[in-house]
Amino acid sequence: MLYIKHLLKNNMITFIVATYNAGRTLRACLTSFRYQTDKNFRLIIIDGMSDDNTINIIKEFEDVVEKWISEEDRGIYDAWNKALDHVETDWVAFLGADDRLMDENSIKNLNILSENNDADFIYGKTAFHDLSDREVWVQANSWNAIRDDFFKGIMKIPHPGMLHKACLFKEYGTYDISYKISSDYEFILRVLLKKESIVFSGVNSQVIIQEGGISHDYKSRIKSLEEVRSILKKHEQNVNNLKLRLYMFRTKCLYILSRFLGDSGTKALRKILNE
């Protein structure tokens, strides 16, 4: 099913949200769009045939959701690729159904950042909250500080809320759906290997990322790093670089440790480690 709202004009950013049985968190995400002081945005939702109350929630927010589709897909990156077919703005950003904008001025601030900016990617500080909605940490790394890590397979760029020039997806292709966790890294690497054009804004957080269970987080990170090795090989980069090997070893150790410490203990550990 496809629902199309009236087309807005002169928008600068399209936000894409993929959902599947996201009823527990989606309302907070969409509410953060409803109360923006700057209405100059487009919001597209691609749903994977949810069987909970997700669709009902989307219908409640048709004043801010411009387009939504509900049909079977092959994962989040397939959903994002479907949404990209409907993008008509200069910039694109992706959010999880459990993420949300920081405050009522977030889009205003993002629009200001994107105006007259020649970079292909713009990212900034991002706040991570736990399931109790308490801030756990803030990711704020300049490109110069993380550049070497990035090209060696360590993704320290917060993807939710990152601005992408929409034309990149026509020039370099869309997301590779063979990767289930790290296709966002693969796409950014694909582009930056051709043309390194990325900016860290340094402004206050505009997006809140909702974290899941800590043990599951490290387990997913291990799977992600396994995909990253495949991605580096695909792009003829050094798969066996020491930095990535140490990071994988560290992540596996933290995963094992998290199973003994539990969520509260691991949160304290992550705060110490600033990650």
270 has a pLDDT exceeding 80: no
End residue of a domain, out of 159, 182, 212: 212
> For residue 113, what is the domain's CATH number?
3.90.550.10
pLDDT per residue as tens digits for the range 11-35: 489 999 999 999 999 999 999 999 9
Confidence band of 206 (pLDDT split at 50, 70, 90): confident
- Is there a single domain that holds both residue 68 and residue 186? yes
Query: So what's the pLDDT on residue 267?
Result: 65
pLDDT per residue as tens digits for the range 124-174: 888 888 777 787 778 888 999 999 999 999 999 989 989 999 999 999 999
Would you state the structure tokens that stand for residue 156, as one six-digit string?
């320290």
91-97 average pLDDT score: 95
Domain count, the chain: 2
Q: Name the residue with higher pLDDT: 254 or 107.
A: 107
Sheet arrangement for strand 126-129: 100-101, 207-210, 126-129, 135-139
Q: What are phi and psi of 204, to 5 degrees?
A: -60, 160
3 has a pLDDT exceeding 50: no
Query: So what's the pLDDT on residue 225?
Result: 95
What percent of the chain has pLDDT above 90?
68
Mean pLDDT of the chain: 88
- Is there a single domain that holds both residue 98 and residue 18? yes
Kindly report the pTM of this predicted structure: 0.90
117 has a pLDDT exceeding 80: yes
- Is there a single domain that holds both residue 202 and residue 255? no
Domain of 256 in residue numbering reads as 213-275
- Is there a single domain that holds both residue 61 and residue 164? yes
- Is there a single domain that holds both residue 152 and residue 223? no
258 has a pLDDT exceeding 90: no
Confidence band of 10 (pLDDT split at 50, 70, 90): very low
